[in-house]
Structure 1
Amino acid sequence: MALRALPPFKGAFLMTTEDRDLRTGRTYWQSRPMPAVPHRPLTRDVKADVLVVGAGISGALVAEALSDHHRVIVVDKRGPVMGSTPASTALVEYEIDTPLIDLSKQIGRVKAERAWRRSHLALHALAARTRALGIAADTRRTDNLYLAGSLLDADGIAAEAQARRQAGIETLFLDRRTLADRFGIKRPAALLAFDDLALDPRRLTSGFLNAAIERGTRVYAPTEITDVESGSDGVTATTANGRTIRAGAIVFATGYELPRYVPKRRHQVMSTYAIATVRQKQKPLPEDCFIWEASDPYLYLRSTPDGRVICGGEDEEFSDDEARDALIPQKTEAIRRKLGKMLPHIDTTPDFAWAGAFGSTPTGLPSIGAVPGLKNAWAVLGFGGNGITYSRIAADIINAALSGKSDPDADLYAFARTRAVR
């Protein structure tokens, strides 16, 4: 597929998206009640300042941020919180998948430090906003244990600790003996970071959608956008049932189902797997924390409020849902084996097992910003291991832009001015 510079675009285009089966299996979060999100199908033509396409976590955070000063409409072809959000393992971190020392080699130290600091700031802002809105999402601050692995050995972990501290992000280096004594884990070294966020992703998303609704946001679902006409005076979206939505701007927050005209270069949709164990009879760890590895692919885990362990990993570089789903039994056993090796004292029997779509980029950074060549259109590709944190960054960047301001870090995530030639 060739790429060419994208010229200014004005006119109509088909709003076709990559139709994916985003998850399979029953996730742990689906076993827990979630506040209802008022919504209805679109049966008449409507107007708004901003149209947000997607009612998952990205759309929810964007809509809530915009609803302070804009009339917002949210649409989703399935329904609120019915896409990939329930498949999240909800280790909400500021840590980027790409270590700071490696990201510095890819984009330069100054930009890499900015990206890490912005993720750090965004996570704290998300926690504060959740608390300010009174959203009950089982949120709690938790530390983060980053184990030496195939990407970073003990020396690499030490270098990463130093780089983070130089960037103003506090972390603690643990050598082999300290790690074993404190956490009972046998690895050459680890980093202990502080104040990440554990939460229920469905409750968080419904909470932010409902906060936006209280300020006048309307949610229409199931409603699928099929065509969009874009111009200097705004956008007109047409739905599958022939209704129109006129808005000053459109924001694509469609997760792993990307609209045709949103650049996909550097973005890969993959498959990932997760389990939630039976309730443990004893505390899984001496100290409650997230755990993940400096490896590719990596194992990651957390505890739940009712004493289970959620563990994910075993990523595959394909997105075909049939091939993905066929591997669920095999991947479940592989995750159980690795989890049991890391924490021999726990019961790895799964009560829940699921598979889902997962996005990645070479840098571990998302793409957020104006869609090149498409007037008044914005997109959120919050790919990577900390997509919920990236969704908060997206809300900040888009809210600033649509309010006539600029975000100081918008350049870190902007789309390149290219598009696929079909």
Structure 2
Amino acid sequence: MRRAAHSETALVPALPRAARCGGGHRAQPLPVIGVALVMATSRKPSTARDLRTGTPVWLADGAAAPRTHVETDGLSVDVAIIGGGISGALIADAVLQAGRGVAVFDRRGLVVGSTPASTALLQFEIDQPLTILSRKIGRERAARAWWRSAAAVDQLRARVADLNLRCGMQERRTIYLPGNVLNATALREEAEARARIGLRSEYIGRDALLELSGLARPGAIVSQGAAEADPARLTRGLWRAALARGAQAFAPIEITDIAPRRGGLRLTTAEGGTIRARAVVHATGYEISPALRPRGYSIISTWALATRPQPDAIWPGRSLIWEAADPYLYIRSTPDGRIILGGEDEEFSDDERRDRLIPRKVARLQAKAAKLMPWVDWTPDFTWAGCFGQSATGLPAIGAVPDMPGCYAAMGYGGNGITFSMIAAQMISRALLGLADPDADIFGVR
């Protein structure tokens, strides 16, 4: 949920054959509780949790989500998408472009889960620095992951322009500060590694950093090609555009079962209604079943605040700012002059504890930010908390689910939620067309 999304692990183990989502007639149904997968053998649902608490600044305008329906019985559709957030919206858009019919289902409603909790720093920079990711998965694969992320940000900006979405999308540069993950020396090495593969990053020293941003640090990596947006307006706009092109939306609808049927899949709702689909896409954020939870996957809590409008405090160029630290700070501005500050991530335990920590976490964020930007009034107008899924590599799991014919998943986005959602939209729409994706070996579900 950190910088870019927070909907939403890298490697997902295959389910036992008894838990298949589609295929042969001997396969057993795969129950789904709300928008969360569960194992057929145990029929134990994954726990439904509050995806966020507090009031994200993006919901202050009180704008309504697109209208949805509740009657589903007898519905037949090419592709059923479970999840009404940014991932589902981008996937729906791409599937429609591919010429397939779409229906989306969410047990809460469109744009009411994790998506509005995003701070929407749309960066190509993955949580795992290129130098560290290279040691984990190899230089060639790490380079492809970073390049695919950079391309996704460009393609997202282009799609927003194509659809004429008014969501505050603006191109920005990023400033990556030294911290306990990469010190100033390691940051130079990171910048050199990025430059060698052609990414638009360079290391700048103290004087240049001070002039660029007003920040007094030894140096930083400055990267071109990032962006910012209002995630709620972006997602509402995508859904409206999809609905105008024939997509259907149903909420609040709880999908309780998915089973194979001749020619596709049968979905059952909590009310007993049935839906036929040729394919199902699970775009459910971090609410995934233990049956699909890979090694190294964890659920992380994060906290954020937005200040009052103070345009005079905004730094030159409005760069997106974050740290090579764990936990790190992430900072951006809004068009009306507010400053958004987030971080203090830690392992999720339960909703109540996460919520009780809001005052303490906000105070820590304020203290850290005051040292970095002492000229800013860090008094919050809005505070909120949320959760996101994180993998051992910082990479998502996207694509066909093994041993579950007709089922696809988009999971585990870490701090690059919206960026990885765009990659998910591309990969899944191509898979539905029978086309191979060149990066399936990096992002694929296993």
Alignment of structure 1 residues 279-358 onto 2, 5 Å? 279-358=309-388
| Residue in 2 that maps onto 1:75 | 105
- TM-score normalised by L of structure 1: 0.95
| Residue in 1 that maps onto 2:28 | 11
Match for residue 136 of structure 1 among 166, 169, 181: 166
Q: 1:386 to 1:414 in 2, by over 3 A?
A: same
| 1:376 and 2:393 matched | no
| 1:86 aligned partner, one-letter code | P
- Distance in 2 (alpha carbons) for counterparts of 1:212 and 1:5: 32
| 2:432 aligned partner, one-letter code | L
Q: Which runs of 5+ in 2 are unaligned?
A: 1-11, 21-26, 37-46
| Residue in 2 that maps onto 1:197 | 227
Q: What is the CA-CA distance between 1:43 and the residue it aligns to?
A: 4.5
- Distance in 1 (alpha carbons) for counterparts of 2:66 and 2:57: 20
- Distance in 1 (alpha carbons) for counterparts of 2:15 and 2:92: 28
| Residue in 2 that maps onto 1:65 | 94
What fraction of aligned residue pairs are identical, expressed as a percent? 46
Q: Give the 3-state SS of the residue equivalent to 2:313 in structure 1.
A: coil
Contact map agreement 1:370 1:378 (CA 8 A) in 2: yes
| 2:151 aligned partner, one-letter code | L
| Residue in 1 that maps onto 2:180 | 150
- Distance in 1 (alpha carbons) for counterparts of 2:82 and 2:13: 27
Q: Give the 3-state SS of the residue equivalent to 1:95 in structure 2.
A: coil
| Residue in 2 that maps onto 1:420 | none
| 1:360 and 2:377 matched | no
Contact map agreement 1:272 1:312 (CA 8 A) in 2: yes
Match for residue 75 of structure 2 among 46, 55, 70: 46
Q: Give the 3-state SS of the residue equivalent to 2:29 in structure 1.
A: strand
- TM-score normalised by L of structure 2: 0.90
Contact map agreement 1:41 1:221 (CA 8 A) in 2: yes
| 2:73 aligned partner, one-letter code | R
Q: Which runs of 5+ in 1 are unaligned?
A: 417-422
Q: Which moved more, 1:367-376 or 1:255-264?
A: 255-264
| Residue in 1 that maps onto 2:426 | 396
CA RMSD of aligned residues (A): 1.6
| 1:21 and 2:38 matched | no
| 1:37 and 2:60 matched | no
- Distance in 1 (alpha carbons) for counterparts of 2:179 and 2:218: 9
Contact map agreement 1:231 1:375 (CA 8 A) in 2: no
Q: Which moved more, 1:175-184 or 1:372-381?
A: 175-184
Q: What is the CA-CA distance between 1:126 and the residue it aligns to?
A: 0.5
Contact map agreement 1:101 1:160 (CA 8 A) in 2: yes
- Distance in 2 (alpha carbons) for counterparts of 1:121 and 1:4: 28
Alignment of structure 1 residues 79-228 onto 2, 5 Å? 79-228=109-258
- Distance in 2 (alpha carbons) for counterparts of 1:233 and 1:260: 28
Q: 1:232 to 1:148 in 2, by over 3 A?
A: farther
Q: Give the 3-state SS of the residue equivalent to 1:301 in structure 2.
A: strand
Q: What is the CA-CA distance between 1:5 and the residue it aligns to?
A: 6.1
Contact map agreement 2:166 2:233 (CA 8 A) in 1: yes
Q: What is the CA-CA distance between 1:259 and the residue it aligns to?
A: 4.2
Contact map agreement 1:382 1:391 (CA 8 A) in 2: no
Q: Give the 3-state SS of the residue equivalent to 1:386 in structure 2.
A: helix
- Distance in 1 (alpha carbons) for counterparts of 2:345 and 2:122: 18
Q: Give the 3-state SS of the residue equivalent to 2:317 in structure 1.
A: coil
Q: What is the CA-CA distance between 1:186 and the residue it aligns to?
A: 2.0
Contact map agreement 1:232 1:375 (CA 8 A) in 2: no
| 2:307 aligned partner, one-letter code | T
Q: What is the CA-CA distance between 1:150 and the residue it aligns to?
A: 0.6
Q: What is the CA-CA distance between 1:188 and the residue it aligns to?
A: 2.0
| Residue in 2 that maps onto 1:419 | none
Q: Count how many residue pairs are aligned between Structure 1 and Structure 2.
A: 414
- Distance in 2 (alpha carbons) for counterparts of 1:379 and 1:83: 18
After superposition, give the CA deviation of every residue in 1:201-226 in whole Å (9 maximum; x if it has no partner): 01111111111111211000000100
Q: Which moved more, 1:381-390 or 1:28-37?
A: 28-37
Q: Give the 3-state SS of the residue equivalent to 1:365 in structure 2.
A: coil
After superposition, give the CA deviation of every residue in 1:223-245 in whole Å (9 maximum; x if it has no partner): 01001103673111100000011
- Distance in 1 (alpha carbons) for counterparts of 2:13 and 2:284: 24
Contact map agreement 2:321 2:330 (CA 8 A) in 1: yes
| Residue in 1 that maps onto 2:44 | none
| 1:285 aligned partner, one-letter code | W
Runs of 4+ in 1 over 6 A off after TM superposition: none
Q: What is the CA-CA distance between 1:161 and the residue it aligns to?
A: 0.7
Q: Give the 3-state SS of the residue equivalent to 1:287 in structure 2.
A: helix
- Distance in 2 (alpha carbons) for counterparts of 1:19 and 1:84: 13
Contact map agreement 1:153 1:189 (CA 8 A) in 2: no
- Distance in 2 (alpha carbons) for counterparts of 1:353 and 1:405: 43
- Distance in 2 (alpha carbons) for counterparts of 1:123 and 1:4: 29
Q: What is the CA-CA distance between 1:283 and the residue it aligns to?
A: 3.5
| Residue in 1 that maps onto 2:295 | 265
Q: What is the CA-CA distance between 1:342 and the residue it aligns to?
A: 0.5
Q: What is the CA-CA distance between 1:319 and the residue it aligns to?
A: 3.8
| Residue in 2 that maps onto 1:240 | 270
Q: Give the 3-state SS of the residue equivalent to 1:275 in structure 2.
A: strand
